[in-house]
Amino acid sequence: MKILQLCAVDFTLYHFLMPLIRGLGNAGHEVVAACADGPLAAQVRDEGIHVEAIPFSRGLLRPRDHLTAYRSLRALLRREAFDIVHVHTPVAALIGRLAACHERVPRVVYTAHGFYFHDRMPAWKRAAYVALEWFGGRCTDVLFTQAEEDAATARRLRLCRTGVIEAIGNGVDISLFRPSTNPAERIQVRARHDTPANAVVVVMIGRLVAEKGYRELLDAMCHVDAHLWVIGDRLTTEHAQNIDDAIDRARDDPDLGSRLHMLGYRTDIEMLLRAADIFTLPSHREGMPRSIIEAMMTALPVVATNVRGSREEVAHEETGFLVPIDDTKALAAALGILARDPALRKNFGTAGLHRARELYDENIVIDRQLRLLGLTPS
């Protein structure tokens, strides 16, 4: 079959969709990708994948940009006879489903990597986003979510016209993310980032935006005897509230400043995780975060907020701690307990590793998708 994989930006394509694209290719299908062009799209092309540049904008209130993307996408769909259009990320998914429906693509699949609407939104705003998802659902034949809670929500709100809604989970490459077995590597990685070999290291991975919980984390770390590694940057297309002021204050803090390490965008995340001691993700909302799975595969204990997706991955007081959203004191307390107790870190990390290997092997997740779509090799 000929399949189009569609998302808004090249970051999503490269970091999240490539395992599925490779799996489809290995199963004998022809796969084309489409997203806004960028440097990571070039890396996908280097693997032999054809990538169409569609000028998507991530901001919802950009009607002119969306119309341009819609027209460009319809032209692509008229030019190519796709059997399936598989869409990802909210804005691109809505535009993609409408275009596919109008061009009579035989099958439209939507993977919701966490719905944008959530309980902390004002009621009117949440209702508006639910309405958009429902509208897009009139052009959706199969709806995948990653978290079970999101699947239940989608069924309750009838976000797919056919009612075919499945939670597929999330996964990572178990050959890449694995526990540390090389003490020398840990020391070398820490030395490169001005971190003492005997220090406790808390690591956070995520876009530098407020909804990831950075303000609470930076405040909490003032009360935790540990270094903090922050991995991530802010996408040029990002419209969420920035946190530059919070980072500047943390850097200027006479105590925290020397323990804060802003590492930016990295391609060696697996090595950094192996050199750390605790992983944290205090997000306000999530889909089903890969970063937690990556940390668990590396045998790190996890401190995360009690939100959808994260609470499906983290077993409270078994593989880590779940804390309330926007609660600096609870976050500091949980991180402090683990920072002071290496035995507890090891116990939680070992339990998390077993849980991750059982539930979150990337190959199993991809095989499940292909099987549900009837795309496994005959």
Residues 6+ apart with CB under 8 A from 187: 197
- In the chain, DSSP assigns E strands to 2-6, 30-35, 50-53, 84-88, 107-112, 142-145, 165-167, 201-205, 227-231, 260-264, 278-281, 302-305, 320-323
Which residue has tokens 């990685």?
189
Helix, strand, coil percentages for the chain (3-state, nearest 5): 45, 15, 35
- pTM comes to 0.90
Compare 54 and 233 and report the one with higher pLDDT: 54
The pLDDT tens digits of the residues spanning 300-342 come to 999 999 999 999 999 999 999 999 999 999 999 999 999 999 9
Q: Taking the chain, what is the end-to-end CA distance rounded to the nearest angstrom?
A: 13
Q: How far does CA 201 lie from the centroid of its chain?
A: 22
d(CA 320, CA 284): 18
Name the pLDDT band for 238 (thresholds 50, 70, 90). Answer: low
- Is pLDDT above 80 for 237? no
The residues facing 327 across adjacent strands are none
Which 3 state secondary structure label does DSSP give 114?
coil
Residues 6+ apart with CB under 8 A from 288: 113, 114, 146, 147, 150, 169, 170, 309, 312, 313
- What are the chain's domains? 2-171+361-372 (3.40.50.2000), 183-359 (3.40.50.2000)
Q: Which two tokens stand for residue 321?
A: 């701690």
* Chain mean pLDDT for the chain: 94
